[in-house]
Structure 1
Amino acid sequence: MGSKSLEKFLKEGLNDLKSKGLYNEINTITGQNGPVIEIEGKKLVNLSSNNYLGLATNKRMIEAGLAATEKYGVGAGAVRTINGTLDIHVKLEEKLANFKHTEAAIAFQSGFNCNMAAISAVMGKNDAILSDALNHASIIDGCRLSGAKIIRFEHADMEDLRAKAKAAVESGLYGKIMVITDGVFSMDGDIAKLPEIVEIAEEFDLITYVDDAHGSGVLGKGAGTVHHFGLSHKIDFQIGTLSKAIGVVGGYVAGSKDLIDWLKVRGRPFLFSTSLTPASAGACIEAINILTESTELHDKLWENGNYLKAELKNLGFDIGHSETPITPCIIGDAAKAQEFSKRLYEEGVYAKAIVFPTVPLGTARVRNMPSAAHTKEMLDEAIAKYAKVGREMGLIK
């Protein structure tokens, strides 16, 4: 027997989550994570994947991953700073820098790792970070790890940001001050007000940091939110993931050569964790090739996203203020959102409920993530099920 206090804590905690509708059931997919998935022998239209462009199952990328494995092996064999830097890693970073319109880039093992590494490598206990209230958990944890003073500003509220930036500067308490935001907010689908943020940053000499996990491949004809606004030369840190639109795994920071050199000697996940597998690096390189050759997948994603959004809104669902293909159906009550997701599942649609702490209490939702791989027939099937279940539950008329 292990610790009785731990056992008591776990049982009480799990029972509490289940009673409040906050316990997340994890489903196992059989086969590929595509536009239609199979779970326990059941085929479902998949509206819960971040595989925006359908690249996770792309044949060119699979072949590139296999070729890299044949050449380099299944693992890099060491951390980057010892002898785990293979030439395929360097090629990937050069591709990323070009893709993001920056001088240089550095690859990490995940997007989460990027935020843990980059923020704490530059910011410290004598500094302050102005952080959007709805920033991703990895940003929040990266800020905490840095030891800097965290000053939250109301979500996308530029007046609040300006007031708090002014107060922080005039206090004279801090060495450096950073403003940090998601490019696209993953739960609501809205876009950061980067032009206004840059204007405030220039006024108060703030370091600018954009986590574009949900914007890369989606906005700016694929190059991301920063490029969408024409601000590649104005943003100090561009953070991205290689696991969403790119379809593989990993993350990166793009910026000036000096910034990337600094992260190579002070970014702890870079220093203390084995580098990306060769297969991942090879597949990511091919993904960037695909995105720079054509906007076909990007355009199809937006076509599908706009169609699904319009149809769900016409049915009477509250889809919030999304400006991207991310389409939430905001239910409010967590237990009701869980039940809605469960009923959709029974009808053949996989759309996961998102509840606290991922979203604020009282804003539980089912979040839809259409991709470039969905056909109109798949989306029509999902929309029909939304209508049926929504009316049965009294969520729409």
Structure 2
Amino acid sequence: MLPPGFRAFDADNHYYEALDAFTRHIEPEFRKRCMQWAQVDGKTRLLVGGKVNKFIPDPTFSRLAKPGVLEKWFRGTAKGSLIEQFGELEPTRAEYRERDARLEAMDELGLDGAMFFPTLGVGMEQALLPDIPALTAAFRAFNRWLAEDWGFAYQERIYAAPYITLADPRNAVAELEWALGQDARLVVMQYGPISTASGWTSPGDPVFEPFWALAAEAGITVVYHGGNSAYGRLISWWGESHEMEAFRATPMRGLISPEPIADTMAALLSYGVLARHPRLRFAAIETGADWVAPLFARLKKSYAQQPHAWAEDPRETLRRQLWVSPFHENDLTELREVIGVDRIMMGSDWPHTEGIAQPLNFAKDLEQAGFSDAEQVQVMKTNAEALVQRLD
């Protein structure tokens, strides 16, 4: 059990973006090519690249379900329909959009600190393709809003991650340099192949080497966070819509086998990015953990068949440089056996509906999975806490 008065460090918190998150600092020439608000059939809709975007049902976040109301649904123990689980919606709370109010909420939740990620922002990269100049402009504007409203290391408790797209490699380096100058401790990006001006390519492509070299030199943590990735296009091959809509997924979207986060880590390994930059730290957050053991099994086979292709056993490389924040319903015992307890982090997804209303309750899952008291403290606090400190 956790010691009395224990305060955790949460690897997965979210804010709900302000209405002007993408527009407050947008460069004038890109205003009509990026995000706009419009009235459509009497409702406020978000236009992205001139098209109505459906990633979030209500991107204004005017009325929201309470944190964690879908926990039983994701555990597979809920009764009734998905709609019934949401319950009565409530107006947006101050702590969802204001950092000082959030610090008070964190005190009530028993959190010393947390990593903070977008709600809307993680679904916008694919929506702006193939207009790469507009895409990079949109996230330059977003990051400057984020620095103003949340800060990148606010009172050494709120660690908001600027979003970086690799679609334009030079812009990615420039944006990382800017973020480092603003005391960013981590950056967030989307997993999967990268769409560049030259076409689709791997994140391990040499064109991205300056970015990875700078990230390694700076000792910053690179986060891959769940959202809408290029793999959304795969499902269209099976007759499904490629457009991702929250809470409206068909069973096929949940059953299709490819895991973009696993393939992304495999690409970074096989292209030698991690081996060349042993200081690089990656965190996989809100991607679950069911992909970890199968990837390790494939890496074991690859190393046995082609040992000459690897600088070392790629499983050891991954154990050294990857941290994982599992879903509460994942097999935590298996994850500990595969990647080690010092690479697992509690992430509550607060205040999202699919997360945990009380982050400290994650310790109950750890206890049921056989984690010792000391191991629970590692997962609930120290592992994630170390990642928001840059390496010397």
TM-score above 0.5, yes or no: no
State which structure, 1 or 2, has the greater radius of gyration over its C-alpha atoms. 1
TM range (shorter): under 0.3
